Amino acid sequence: MDQTILDVRRLRVAYKGYPAVNDVSFHIDRGEILGVVGESGCGKSLAALTLMGLQPNVMKASGDVVFRGKNLLENRDADWMKVRGEGIAMIFQEPMTALNPVVTVGDQIAEMFELHRGSNKAEAAERAVEMLERVHIPDPMRRAKAFPHELSGGMRQRVMIAMALACEPELIIADEPTTALDVTVQAQVLDLLEELRDSTGTAVQFISHNLGVVSQLAERVIVMYAGRIVEQATSEELFANPQHPYTQGLLATLPRIGGARDVLPAIPGAVPPLDQRGSGCPFVDRCNKASPTCVAMMPETVALNDIHSVACHHL
C-alpha cells in the first residue's frame, strides 16, 4: 500500500502576483505527524488552507496537491465537500470562531455524524457523547448540552478535535491549536493529538511558530521562511544538526532548562512583506552568513541524506 497520503509539489499561492507560498513541496505519510514551523507571516496557514481549498478568493494557487491520487487543485466545489467531509479536517487556534455559539457542542458534533456519516438523530447524539468521552471531556453527557462559551479554552479545543475526528479523516491539519492555551493545557492537547493518532492512524499536520512545541509532537519537521521551505528533517536531526541559519536562529530562541528566560535572543529583523522579497535567498536581510551570491541567487534545496534537506548557499 502506498504510504504517502498527501503529496504537495511546487505549491505556489500568490496575492496580486506576489507569492505568499512559493515552490513548496512536501509529503505526509499515513499516520505520520508532520510539523510545520516558522514565524508569523511565513505562509504556514495559507499553505494549509489551500490544501482544503479554503484560501482567500484573492489568492491564486498553482502546483499539485495530490491527495488519494488526485490533484485537489483541479477540484470543483462538490469535490471539495467530499474532501472536507471525510478526507482532511482542520482545527484552528481559536475554536470560538469555528464553533457555532448558539448550538450546544453535543449538537454540533452530532451534526457531523448526520451530515457525513449518515447517522439518524438519536444515533448521532449518542455518538457525539462518545466522541466527547474519547477526547477526555469529563462528564460528557452533561457537557454535550453546554454551549461553547460555557467551556474553557482547552475544552473547546477538545470539542474541535472531536468534530474533526467525527469525520474519520485521513489527515487532520492543526493550525496553532495550542497557541492560545496556557502551558499545562497545551501539553494536554498535544498528548491528546498523539494518543488519537496512535489509536486512529490519522495523519496530523501540526503547525506552530514555536519549534519547541512542534518538535515535542512531530516526527518530521518542515521549516518555512517567507513562503518557502528552507529546511526539512526529522525532529531529532533538526535539533542535533540544524543546517539553515534560520533554523539555527529559531533553536537559539528556545528557552533552555535552567537558562535565564528573559535574555533569550530573538532573531533580529522581521519577515519581509510579500512585495519586498527579492530573487535571492529569502533570509538574506537577517542572515549573518549572507554573501553577494545570497542576494543574487535563490539557493537550491539540497538533500543531505534521506531525512534531511536544506536550501542555503553556505552550509
Ligand X SMILES: Nc1ncnc2c1ncn2[C@@H]1O[C@H](COP(=O)(O)OP(=O)(O)O)[C@@H](O)[C@H]1O
Report the partner that residue 310 touches, choosing among ligand SF4, ligand X, Mg ion, none (CB closer than 5 to 8 A by kind): none
Rg from Cα positions in the chain? 20
- Binding to ligand X in span 249-308, by CB under 6 A: 274
For the chain, how are helix, strand and coil distributed in percent, rounded to 5?
Answer: 40, 25, 35
Q: How far is the CB of 176 from Mg ion (least distance, A)?
A: 6
Choice between 45 and 215, CB closer to Mg ion: 45
Q: How far is the CB of 225 from ligand X (least distance, A)?
A: 10
Residues near 229 by beta carbon (within 8 Å), at least 6 away in sequence: 24, 25, 26, 222, 223, 301, 311
Q: How far apart are CA 121 and CA 152, in angstroms?
A: 27
Choice between 201 and 278, CB closer to ligand X: 278
Q: How far apart are CA 307 and CA 232, in angstroms?
A: 8
- Binding to Mg ion in span 181-220, by CB under 5 A: none
Choice between 41 and 106, CB closer to ligand SF4: 41
Residue 43 found at the interface with ligand X (CB under 6 A): yes
Choice between 97 and 120, CB closer to ligand X: 97
Choice between 22 and 119, CB closer to ligand X: 22
Q: What is the DSSP string of 122-170?
A: HHHHHHHHHHHHHTT-SSHHHHTT--GGGS-HHHHHHHHHHHHHHT--S
Q: How far apart are CA 295 and CA 290, in angstroms?
A: 8
- Binding to Mg ion in span 38-97, by CB under 5 A: 45
Which parts of this chain interact with ligand X (CB under 6 A)?
15, 20, 38, 40-46, 56, 58, 274
Query: Which residues are near ligand SF4 by CB under 6 A?
Result: 244-245, 281, 283-284, 287, 289-290, 294, 299, 312-314
